[in-house]
Copies of this chain bind each other. A is one copy, B any other.
Amino acid sequence: MESNSVSPMPELAPIAEFDKTPPTPPEDTLPMDDLPPPPNTVVNVQEEKEKEAEAEAKAHRHYEDENEWGCGSWLEYTVVVVCASILLLGSLALTLFWVIQYRGGFAWREDPEREFNLHPVLMVAGFITFSGFSILLYRICRCCRRIYVKLLHTIFHALAIPCVAVGFLAVLDSHNLSSPPKPNFYSLHSWIGLVTMGLFALQFVVGFFSFLVLLCCEGATAGFRAALVPIHASFGLTTFMLAIAASLTGLTQKVWLVLKPEEYTAWKEEGIIINSLAMALVALAILVSFAVRSPTLKGDTRMTVTERL
């Protein structure tokens, strides 16, 4: 079972409890292996101490050999983090390559056709690359202090905001400045995009106030924040998935608008590149949701039962 271990640091809280501040455990935290023996057990003190030492040594060995540095978990950790990072940066690079090589690069208001090209690049940068790294941080830095991870998570999402905003303006501008002007918000892609932006904004505002601002009165808001964590985590992953779905519909729409059907069916180069970009996004959907899944709880794992966020 150890080779199936899902985390290099399984002693830490599962992802759904990502906000714990480890240094000072709260009073009602009850580590499982600090429990007193049952009262009906007759124990010899010496014997008990020996057993304890043995158990500790065993636990230590177990921790060192199999969990923290175990090949299984480190192998999984490295593969997931490296592949996800390559895909997150690779999908942005591929979008850039496609737009520059096949769509004529960028422009601002002087050329609406090329102004549009900012849209896919900035949306992939904001919704996929920055947001993806922001989510992945909870897998990469599971061993760091929670407050640093939280701050980095906020910074990465904050970096996504200007990208998404300018990407959105670019497509509106490009439609309005075309001659004749193109209408907005009629397509399935635009509807999905609007839902995704709405969810993203909601998550950012709620997350910022709940997990950073409310820390000012830490004790009073702990229960509320604890209840919010799984909801924020679930909606966060869903927003990422919807961003991928929005990108995929956008790419589908673009490929049918810019390529003739006979070019697409004849495996024209640009079609293959757009399909490959879509596949990178699909691989990211699988990998990121796998990376931040709830870990397996284990009987021999020291765990704290009360959440403190």
Interface size on A, residues (CB 8 A): 75
Contacts of A234 in B (CB 8 A): 289-290, 293-294
Q: Which residue of B lies closest to A192 (CB)?
A: B282
How near does chain B come to A298, taking the closest CB pair, in angstroms? 7
Binds B, one of A59-67, A125-133, A148-156, A245-253: A245-253
* Residue A79 interfacial (CB < 8 Å): no
Bound complex: CA A230 to CA B290 (Å): 9
Taking a contact as CB atoms under 8 Å apart, the answer to whether B265 and A183 are in contact is yes
Taking a contact as CB atoms under 8 Å apart, the answer to whether A271 and B307 are in contact is no
Instruction: List residues of A (257-287) whose CB comes within 8 Å of B's CBs.
Output: 257, 261, 264-265, 267, 271, 274-275, 278-279, 282, 285-286
* Residue A306 interfacial (CB < 8 Å): yes
Instruction: List residues of A (186-228) whose CB comes within 8 Å of B's CBs.
Output: 186-189, 191-192, 195, 199, 223-224, 226-228
Q: Mark A284-306, 1 if CB is under 8 A from B, else 0.
A: 01100110011111110001011
Instruction: List residues of A (7-45) whose CB comes within 8 Å of B's CBs.
Output: 14, 16-17, 28, 30, 32, 35-39
Q: Which residue of B lies closest to A271 (CB)?
A: B186
Taking a contact as CB atoms under 8 Å apart, the answer to whether A279 and B191 are in contact is yes
How near does chain B come to A1, taking the closest CB pair, in angstroms? 4
Central interface residue in A36, A234, A297, by most chain B CB within 10 Å: A297
Bound complex: CA A85 to CA B32 (Å): 40
Taking a contact as CB atoms under 8 Å apart, the answer to whether B6 and A230 are in contact is yes
Contacts of A261 in B (CB 8 A): 257
* Residue A97 interfacial (CB < 8 Å): no
Central interface residue in A5, A187, A228, A265, by most chain B CB within 10 Å: A187
* Residue A145 interfacial (CB < 8 Å): no
Identify the 3 closest CB pairs spanning chains A and B, nearest first: A299-B306, A4-B227, A234-B293
